[in-house]
Amino acid sequence: MARAVVSEAEAILDQEFGVLDKGFVRLVDYLGGDERIVQSARVSYGKGTKTFREDRGLIRYLMRNRHTSPFEQVVLTFHAKMPVFVARQWVRHRTARLNEISGRYSVMSDEFYLPSLEQVSYQSTSNRQGRGETLPEDEAQRAVEAMRLQQEQAYAGYENLLEAGLARELSRVNLPLSVYTEWYWQIDLNNLFHFLSLRLDEHAQYEIRKYAERIFEIARAVCPCACEAFEDFVLHAETFSRAELNALRQLATGAEAGRLEALAREAGLTERELERFVAKLQRRT
């Protein structure tokens, strides 16, 4: 297992994976993988003491039961380039270490994010922080052109202030949120999964969701078993309220109980997973 994981992860080291129009994510370095998670959980110093199937089963057990500390043994370092408005959403996840390019020491680049026409939408009428219906193509083109002109004007003003000798830390203050920035971002796998659970959600803003998708692709190369377990038990899983669970229990103990078990098997549950599923529904609150 370790040789395959290392080769795939090594193959993508320092590769830039494009995001949006000018951004990227690349894996700078990583520590550990699926094997490190397994060794940490078993407090084992040897390699190959268990089969791949048993290792995968242990990782899935850890994820299913929220034993998170072994996942913290894996650390990934990314170099990312993104618009400032994406960075400001991203930095709200305070469980990582980062170092961002400084506009006090460096001249900011003349690079700005412009959305593709299919992403230019009206404000949603039902979601105060989301997008609604896409604008007609001609209106979208006018909106993007207006953004581009404003960006050019803002950067020209920035250059004028620099040429006049104004301090870089002051000259930059009128640059828009669409200007691109870069940073190094280091995070352990457990906290990365928390980041991904929020930023891969369909309600997350499109732009940061595209970064999350790229990061998850990279993480999958480093820890395929852990990422599979994350998808099964967190990303594509749901929790139920007490009332919802009680409704399911009535179904599980009624005339449709056999049908429910059959559907669970068809969905891919193993016999042991089916036992756990039934036990959850039979548990009294």
**In the chain, where are the structural domains located?**
2-104+179-235, 117-174, 242-282
- Give the burial string for 152-190 (b: 16+ CB within 10 Å, else e): eebbeebeebbeeeeebeebbeebbebbbbbbebbbbbb
**Yes or no: is domain 2-104+179-235 CATH 3.30.1360.170?**
yes
Cα–Cα distance measured from residue 112 to residue 110, given in angstroms and rounded to the nearest whole number:
7
Sheet strands (E) in the chain? 17-19, 23-31, 75-83, 97-100, 121-123, 131-134, 180-188
The pLDDT value given to residue 3: 47
99, HSE (Cβ side, Cα atoms, 13 Å): 2
Structure tokens at 68: 């998170």
> What value does the mean pLDDT take over residues 104-115?
95
> pLDDT for 139-155, tens place per residue?
999 999 999 999 999 99
Q: Which amino acid does the sequence have at 94?
A: R
> pLDDT for 221-269, tens place per residue?
999 999 999 999 999 998 888 888 888 777 777 666 677 777 778 877 7
Cα–Cα distance measured from residue 63 to residue 153, given in angstroms and rounded to the nearest whole number:
50
The pLDDT value given to residue 254: 65
Q: Is the dihedral of CA 193, 198, 201, 205 positive or negative?
A: negative
> pLDDT for 170-229, tens place per residue?
999 999 999 999 999 999 999 999 999 999 999 999 999 999 999 999 999 999 999 999
Sheet strands (E) in 137-284? 180-188
Binned at pLDDT 50, 70 and 90, residue 25 comes out as: very high
> pLDDT for 266-282, tens place per residue?
877 777 777 777 777 77
- Beta partners for residue 100, in sequence order: 183
Question: What's the distance, CA 116 to chain centroid?
Answer: 21
Q: Catalytic site residue 199?
A: yes
Q: Which amino acid does the sequence have at 20?
A: L
Cα–Cα distance measured from residue 57 to residue 220, given in angstroms and rounded to the nearest whole number:
17
Helices (H) and strands (E) in the chain, counts: 12, 7
Which residue from 235, 236, 241, 226 is spatially nearest to 194, judged by alpha carbons?
Answer: 235
Q: Is the dihedral of CA 156, 160, 165, 166 positive or negative?
A: negative
Cα–Cα distance measured from residue 95 to residue 198, given in angstroms and rounded to the nearest whole number:
14
Which position has the token pair 């230019």? Answer: 120
The pLDDT value given to residue 7: 64
Lowest-pLDDT range, 6-10, 113-117, 209-213?
6-10
- Beta partners for residue 184, in sequence order: 79, 99
Which residue from 207, 208, 212, 215 is spatially nearest to 115, judged by alpha carbons?
Answer: 207
Given the residues 42, 199, 249, 284, select the one marked as catalytic. Answer: 199
